[in-house]
């Protein structure tokens, strides 16, 4: 067995020990190979992938435009293995000139406490988490407030839905990974229009006919070869892309009502559960999603700008 194969096998075993809900460790994508050695001579590796996102593309609303993402292969070496690999990454960056709109990114199992110390020591912040909820999960205790109607959005609701999504973007940019851009309205409008046209389930909550909230969802199949299969257990999942409630309606049950409908409807499409990304520093989302039965599976650690990696 190759060194990479042995590391991948050991990493899969470690992931299973840390969190049985994790899929097997995935082979890293193509990129620049990094290697490092622990004091006892044990070797670890990783693949560094560099991505550039052009202006006007959707990823620029939740990411820096220039991203270096490390895919570690540390086997069972834990935090010590990650530490020496991050030190090697810092040496690589010393030969480059990352700009201000840049980031270093590592996605790692949320329950691997041994890795947390190494990531914090090198300047990473847990900006986002991928959280999952099983379809059988109990709903939040306490019913939603009455008087809220929920219906599927249509193309006629594009402008209303757009304003709700832009409000969510503005708030998320204060407390997480989202980024405000001069072209954000045009980018959001194009993406939302496409999702409405292809029939993705987007629910609007209304009170007295006035839209007060939105839940933008879609279905994802985590099958062989799919990128989602590297992050989720195999099967069909509902993806909660965006939930937004107008400030004056927060705390009145609108979010709970939206998600009660979304969870029930996505289950009818065969979803074994739902997943979403939220920002742990977000004082609203971090509480709301836990009450809805979600729990972190992966944490996306970032350093912005990339040159701030320690």
**One-character DSSP codes across 152-163:** E--GGGHHHHHH
Q: Residues 165-221: pLDDT tens digits?
A: 999 999 999 999 999 999 999 999 999 999 999 999 999 999 999 999 999 999 999
Task: Supply the pLDDT for residue 108.
Answer: 98
Q: What is the mean pLDDT of the chain?
A: 95
Enter the tokens of residue 285: 């989302």
127: containing domain: 3-131+301-308
Q: What is the DSSP letter of 305?
A: S
Is residue 145 scored above 70 in pLDDT?
no
Q: Are both 110 and 150 inside the same structural domain?
A: no
Task: Supply the pLDDT for residue 2.
Answer: 80
Phi, psi for residue 31 in degrees, rounded to 5: 170, -165
- In the chain, which ranges are continuous DSSP H helix? 3-18, 78-93, 113-121, 158-175, 184-197, 254-268, 285-291
Asked if residue 114 lies in contact with residue 11, where contact means CB atoms within 8 angstroms, the answer is: no
Q: Which residues have C-beta within 8 Å of that of residue 91, sequence separation ≥ 6?
A: none
Is residue 261 scored above 50 in pLDDT?
yes
Q: Cα–Cα distance between 272 and 251 in angstroms, integer?
A: 28
Q: Cα–Cα distance between 107 and 120 in angstroms, integer?
A: 13
Q: Are both 107 and 180 inside the same structural domain?
A: no
Enter the tokens of residue 299: 């944490």
Is residue 1 scored above 60 in pLDDT?
no
Is residue 144 scored above 60 in pLDDT?
no
Q: Are both 246 and 188 inside the same structural domain?
A: yes
- Among the listed residues 196, 238, 244, the one whose alpha carbon sits nearest the alpha carbon of residue 221: 238
Phi, psi for residue 142 in degrees, rounded to 5: 100, 120
The mean pLDDT of 7-16, rounded to a whole number, is 96
Q: Which residues have C-beta within 8 Å of that of residue 293, sequence separation ≥ 6?
A: 133, 134, 137, 138, 139, 140
Q: Are both 216 and 243 inside the same structural domain?
A: yes
Q: Are both 144 and 276 inside the same structural domain?
A: yes
Is residue 283 scored above 80 in pLDDT?
yes
Work out the angle between the directed axes of helices 113-121 and 78-93 (0-180°, nearest 10).
Answer: 30
Assign residue 57 the CATH number of its domain: 3.40.630
Task: Supply the pLDDT for residue 142.
Answer: 45
pTM, full prediction: 0.95
Domain count, the chain: 2
Q: Can you tell me which residue has the tokens 């609203």?
A: 284
Assign residue 170 the CATH number of its domain: 3.40.630.30
The mean pLDDT of 110-124, rounded to a whole number, is 97
Q: Are both 87 and 216 inside the same structural domain?
A: no
DSSP 206-264: EETTEEEEEEEEEEEEE-TT-GGGGTS-SEEEEEEEEEEE-GGGTTTTHHHHHHHHHHH
- Strand order from edge to edge, sheet including 235-245: 32-37, 43-52, 66-73, 102-109, 295-303, 125-134, 273-278, 235-245, 210-222, 202-207, 149-152
Asked if residue 120 lies in contact with residue 309, where contact means CB atoms within 8 angstroms, the answer is: no
Q: Are both 100 and 158 inside the same structural domain?
A: no
Is residue 247 scored above 80 in pLDDT?
yes
Q: Are both 164 and 25 inside the same structural domain?
A: no
Is residue 150 scored above 60 in pLDDT?
yes
Q: Are both 109 and 160 inside the same structural domain?
A: no
Q: Residues 17-53: pLDDT tens digits?
A: 999 999 999 999 999 999 999 999 999 999 999 999 9
Q: Are both 158 and 265 inside the same structural domain?
A: yes
The mean pLDDT of 45-64, rounded to a whole number, is 97
Neighbours of 145 (CB within 10 A): 14
Strands 102-109 and 295-303: antiparallel
Percent of the chain whose predicted confidence (pLDDT) is above 90: 94
Q: Are both 58 and 164 inside the same structural domain?
A: no
Q: Are both 143 and 279 inside the same structural domain?
A: yes
């Amino acid at each position: 067995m190759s060194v990479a194969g042995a590391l991948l096998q050991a990493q899969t075993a470690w992931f299973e020990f840390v969190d049985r809900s994790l899929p097997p460790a995935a082979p890293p994508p193509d990129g620049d190979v990094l290697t490092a050695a622990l004091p006892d001579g044990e070797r670890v590796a990783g693949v560094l992938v560099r991505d550039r996102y052009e202006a006007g593309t959707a990823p620029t609303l939740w990411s820096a435009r220039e991203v270096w993402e490390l895919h570690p292969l540390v086997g069972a070496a834990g935090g010590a293995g990650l530490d020496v690999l991050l030190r090697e990454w810092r040496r690589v960056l010393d030969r480059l000139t990352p700009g201000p709109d840049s980031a270093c990114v590592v996605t790692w199992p949320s329950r691997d406490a041994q890795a947390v110390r190494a990531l914090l020591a090198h300047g990473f912040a847990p900006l986002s988490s991928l959280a999952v909820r099983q379809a059988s999960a109990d709903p939040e205790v306490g019913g939603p407030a009455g008087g809220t109607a929920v219906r599927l959005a249509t193309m006629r609701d594009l402008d209303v839905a757009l304003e709700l999504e832009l409000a969510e973007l503005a708030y998320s940019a204060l407390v997480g990974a989202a980024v405000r851009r001069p072209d954000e309205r045009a980018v959001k409008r194009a993406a939302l229009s496409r999702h409405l046209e292809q029939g993705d389930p987007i629910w609007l909550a209304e009170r007295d006919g006035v839209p007060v909230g939105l839940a933008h969802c879609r279905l994802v199949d985590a099958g062989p070869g799919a990128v989602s299969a590297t992050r989720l257990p195999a099967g069909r999942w509902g993806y909660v892309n965006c939930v937004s409630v107008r400030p004056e309606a927060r705390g009145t049950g609108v979010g709970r009502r939206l998600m009660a409908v979304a969870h029930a409807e996505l289950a009818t499409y065969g979803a074994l559960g739902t997943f979403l990304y939220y920002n742990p520093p977000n004082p609203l989302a971090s509480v709301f999603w836990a009450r809805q039965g979600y729990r972190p599976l992966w944490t996306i650690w970032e350093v912005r700008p990339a040159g701030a990696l320690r």
